[in-house]
Structure 1
Amino acid sequence: MDSKAELKRQLILDTAKQIILDHDFHALTLDAVAKQAGISKGGLLYHFPNKDALIKGLAAYIFEEVCVNFHKYAENDSNKKGKWTRAFIEASKHDLEHNAALNIGVFAASLLDPEVSKNISDGYQSILARLEQDGINPLTATIIRLALDGLYYSQMLHIAPLDKERQNEVIQQLVRMTREDS
C-alpha cells in the first residue's frame, strides 16, 4: 500500500495534469494545484518546492505512466511474436489520446533538466531494447518506433498533425506490420 506522502504526491501530480488538460500550461500555478487538490500550499511545497520541480515531477510521472501501460499491454498480448512492439504502439496511442497537451511539458522538462532527460532516455532505451528482441525484424520495429516518434513530434509541435481518423489508420497499420513481419 502506498504511504500517505506518496498518495498526496500522486494527488498533486494528478491535479496538475488535470489543470493542464482542462486549460493549458499557463493555468498551472502552485496556488491552483493546492486549491484544486484540496491541500494547503505548504503541503504542496513539501513535495514540490517550486513550479519547476512540479513540472519535472510531472514529466517523470507521465513517462512512468507510459512505461506502466507498455508493460500492461504486453502482459495482455497472448501472441508472443511482436507483443512488445504492439504494446509500445498501444501505450503510445493511449498517451497521444489522453496526454497530448502534456507532452510538450515533458519534452521541455527533459530538455531543460539533464537528470529528467537521462531518466526518460534510459526508460525509452529499455523499451527500445524490448522491441529489438521482439521476434520481428528489428528494422520493422525501428520503422514503427520512428513512425510513433513522428506522430508525437507533429502533434507536440503542431507541424501538420494528423486528424484523429488518419492517426488511427496509421496506428492500425503499425499493428498490422507487427503481425505480418516474418
Structure 2
Amino acid sequence: MRRDDLLDAAESLLCDQGAQGLTLAAVAERAGVSKGGLLYHFGTKEALIKGLIERLIAEFDALVEAQGESDYTRAYLKATFQAVESGRLRRWAVVTGAAGDPTLLVPLREAMARWHSQDLDREPDPMTSRIVRLACEGVWDVATHVPELLDYAELRRRLLDLL
C-alpha cells in the first residue's frame, strides 16, 4: 500500500463523513489495509492530517510551477482554477476542515503566507497582484460550498485581464 493511497482514502472518508469520521480504523478499512499497515506510514491521526496538509502544499506548489509562467500571480491564478476545475479542490476543503488542532495548520499558514507574498515586489502592480491572489482564495471558498455559483472561465478571464 502506497502512502498516497492511504491519504486518498482519508480524503474520501472526509468527503463522505466529515472530520468526525476520520479515525485511523476507518481510514484503514477504506484503504483495504490493516490498521497496522496504516500505522506503519502514519502513527497517529495527527500524522495523517499532517501528511494530507504536506501533500496539498507540495501538489499546489507543483501546479503553480507547471504553469510555466514567469509572472507568479498569473501562475498562481491559473493553478487555482486548474485545481478547482479538476477536482483537486477537495483536498483543500477536507484538509482545512479536518485539522481541528490549530498547530497542525501551521505549515498551511506558512505556505499561504509564501503564496501571497512571493514575488510581489517584482510584479508591475503589486496591489493588483495581491487583489487577484486574494480573489483566488474566494474562488476556493465559494467552489467548496456552492461550486455551481461561479462561471469559472469568465472569472478566470476577468482576473487575468486585471494583470
TM value normalised by structure 2: 0.78
Q: Hey, what does 2:39 align to over in structure 1?
A: 45
Q: Hey, what does 1:8 align to over in structure 2?
A: 2
What does the per-residue CA deviation read over 1:55-113, in whole Å, with 9 as the maximum and x for residues that have no partner? 3321232222111211222xx23xx3xx2111111221133231333333322355623
Residues 84 and 131 in structure 1, CA contact (< 8 A), matched pair in contact too: yes
Mark the runs of 5 or more structure 1 residues left unpaired by the alignment. Answer: 1-6
Residues 59 and 105 in structure 1, CA contact (< 8 A), matched pair in contact too: no
Shift of the alpha carbon at 1:138? 0.4
1:102 aligns with 2:86: no
TM value normalised by structure 1: 0.71
Give the letter for the 1:44 counterpart: L
What does the per-residue CA deviation read over 1:23-75, in whole Å, with 9 as the maximum and x for residues that have no partner? 343665434433443432102012223434323321232222111211222xx
1:116-127 equivalences in 2 (<5 Å): 116-127=104-115
1:85 aligns with 2:73: yes
1:121-136 equivalences in 2 (<5 Å): 121-136=109-124
Question: What SS class does the counterpart of residue 128 from structure 1 fall into?
Answer: helix
Mark the runs of 5 or more structure 2 residues left unpaired by the alignment. Answer: none
Give the letter for the 1:107 counterpart: T
Give the letter for the 1:132 counterpart: L
Q: Hey, what does 1:141 align to over in structure 2?
A: 129
Choose which of 62, 70, 73 in structure 2 pairs with 1:68: 62
Length, aligned pairs only: 161
% same residue: 29
| Aligned-partner Cα distance in 1 for 2:98–2:12 | 18
- Shift of the 111–172 alpha-carbon distance from structure 1 to 2, 3 Å rule, reads farther
| Aligned-partner Cα distance in 2 for 1:172–1:112 | 37
Structure of greater relative contact order (alpha carbons < 8 Å, 6+ residues apart): 2
Give the letter for the 1:150 counterpart: G
| Aligned-partner Cα distance in 2 for 1:167–1:120 | 25
| Aligned-partner Cα distance in 2 for 1:174–1:51 | 39
Choose which of 153, 159, 163 in structure 2 pairs with 1:168: 153
- Shift of the 31–133 alpha-carbon distance from structure 1 to 2, 3 Å rule, reads same
